[in-house]
Structure 1
Amino acid sequence: MGRPVVIGIAGGSGSGKTTVLRKIVEAFGPAYIAVLEHDAYYKDLSHLPFEERVRVNFDHPDALETELLRAHLDELLAGRPIEKPVYNFTTHTRAPYTVRIEPRPVIILEGILVLAEPLLRERMDIKLYVDAPDDVRLIRRIRRDMEERGRTIESILEQYERTVRPMHLEFVEPSRRLADVIIPGGGYNQVAIDMVLARIAALLETYAL
């Protein structure tokens, strides 16, 4: 049995990373894939008053416990299960429970900053960057945060101007050049998706040996 295939999926907020991830899972089946979302590893802010939590720059690498994600990735690569944290985006705190993730032939690291982090990037066999126009990404972010996180459009736009866009320009966009494959249009770019799936399938043949 070979080493599991590690895939990084990065791109700006609202670029379509989740759609690409879903296409990969659909192609190979959930029994083959373990998913580690970088978002699950946000640092717990329960020690801060709520007013201070909402002012934290969640788009900066320092907001995430990347060292724990790397440790969990190494555990999965060694064939051992991990307890993935669960993050509450409404209260900005880590939940008191975890989700057990079993080792799988394919491990996917997903998040806006996964390619910007050398700790994660050096473990990846395939590095993907999902690209989409800024206006499309902003619209998707507004819709998601209003529907899933109960936020007002004013708070979403304030955060976008204060941290999301500056951090995208500083950290996320530069990581684009580190990708093996750039996918414009995200999960709707079937040609790019087919190429990625073929590459994963080829690497999985090595895993089965």
Structure 2
Amino acid sequence: MGNQDSNNSKPFIMGIAGGSGSGKTFFLNRFLDHFTSNEVCLVSQDDYYFRVGHTMTKEENKLYNFDVPETIDREHFYSDITKLINRETIYKKEYTFNNPAAVPKVLEIKPAPIMIVEGLFIFHFKEIANLLDLKIFIEADEDVALARRLKRDLEERGYSNDDVMYKWENHVVPAYKEFLLPYKNVCEQVIVNNTHIADDIIQVTEQISKELREKVL
């Protein structure tokens, strides 16, 4: 049923954004379950942070605001998306969240008929927003989102409770309100993700992937 010539037409580009703790990663992973690597490719804004953290002390890292657009290499991010649209494979060092012990992998991202672009600022970066065929906004209540953020940062990234709360109040929430929330109304789909029930999210990803299979593949 697909209406695209897979060799030379523009891929169908989905933009997925949500605040910290919205459950965006879980949504993405469940969505990707429906496709093979030949059918979909993923470009993550997180892999385009300017590298600053490896020279920082712990205190500097705590105070540094990663939640502003200037921390992202916007030109490189846009350039790589454009290359994928033009059917070029891109190679990108993954971002290791300022963990000096982690060895970043080199990601090979191959073009595919469906492209997912995800990140906090993808609707704010106009040149990227203009490329998106479908915008998905994932949100959760603030208390739910904070609980998820605390769990992740304490367990996976070794931050203290104070550090997480400092970043949440001074960086995360202000950035969400300034750079993402204003675009909620222009998104074709808004998904509220307050539950821990996987079935709800799986159902939504099934519906979207079914529509995409009919439209694109």
For the residue of structure 1 that corresponds to 2:33, the secondary structure is helix
Tell me what 2:3 maps to.
Answer: none
- Alignment of 1:68 with 2:92, yes or no, is no
State which drifts further: 96-105 or 184-193: 184-193
Distance (whole Å) between structure 2 residues aligned to residue 10 and residue 40 of structure 1: 15
What is the Cα deviation at residue 176 of structure 1? 1.1
The change in CA–CA distance for 1:156 and 1:112 in structure 2 (over 3 A counts) is same
Tell me what 2:14 maps to.
Answer: 7
Instruction: Give the counterpart of 1:148 among 144, 156, 160.
Output: 156
Whether contact under 8 Å (1:84, 1:100) holds in the other structure is yes
Return the structure number with greater strand share. 1
Distance (whole Å) between structure 2 residues aligned to residue 95 and residue 12 of structure 1: 27
Tell me what 1:201 maps to.
Answer: 213
Whether contact under 8 Å (2:89, 2:110) holds in the other structure is yes
Tell me what 1:113 maps to.
Answer: 121
Unaligned runs of 5+ in 2: 1-5
- Alignment of 1:19 with 2:26, yes or no, is yes
For the residue of structure 2 that corresponds to 1:149, the secondary structure is coil
Whether contact under 8 Å (1:41, 1:66) holds in the other structure is yes
Whether contact under 8 Å (1:115, 1:179) holds in the other structure is no
Distance (whole Å) between structure 2 residues aligned to residue 30 and residue 39 of structure 1: 20
Taking the TM superposition and a 5 Å limit, the aligned residue runs for 1:92-171 are 98-171=106-179
The change in CA–CA distance for 1:15 and 1:47 in structure 2 (over 3 A counts) is closer
AA aligned opposite 1:198: K
Distance (whole Å) between structure 2 residues aligned to residue 119 and residue 61 of structure 1: 13
Distance (whole Å) between structure 2 residues aligned to residue 41 and residue 5 of structure 1: 22
Tell me what 1:81 maps to.
Answer: 89
The change in CA–CA distance for 1:12 and 1:46 in structure 2 (over 3 A counts) is closer
Cα deviations by residue, 1:14-39 (Å, 9 ceiling, x for unpaired): 11111221122111223321111111
For the residue of structure 1 that corresponds to 2:156, the secondary structure is helix
* Cα RMSD (Å): 2.3
Identity across aligned pairs (percent)?
28
Distance (whole Å) between structure 1 residues aligned to residue 40 and residue 151 of structure 2: 28
The alignment's TM-score, normalised by the length of structure 1, stands at 0.88
- Corresponding residue pairs, total: 205
The alignment's TM-score, normalised by the length of structure 2, stands at 0.85
The change in CA–CA distance for 1:173 and 1:70 in structure 2 (over 3 A counts) is same
The change in CA–CA distance for 1:92 and 1:121 in structure 2 (over 3 A counts) is farther
Return the structure number with greater helix share. 1
State which drifts further: 44-53 or 115-124: 44-53
Whether contact under 8 Å (2:96, 2:104) holds in the other structure is no
AA aligned opposite 1:36: V
For the residue of structure 2 that corresponds to 1:73, the secondary structure is helix
What is the Cα deviation at residue 190 of structure 1? 5.1
State which drifts further: 101-110 or 193-202: 193-202
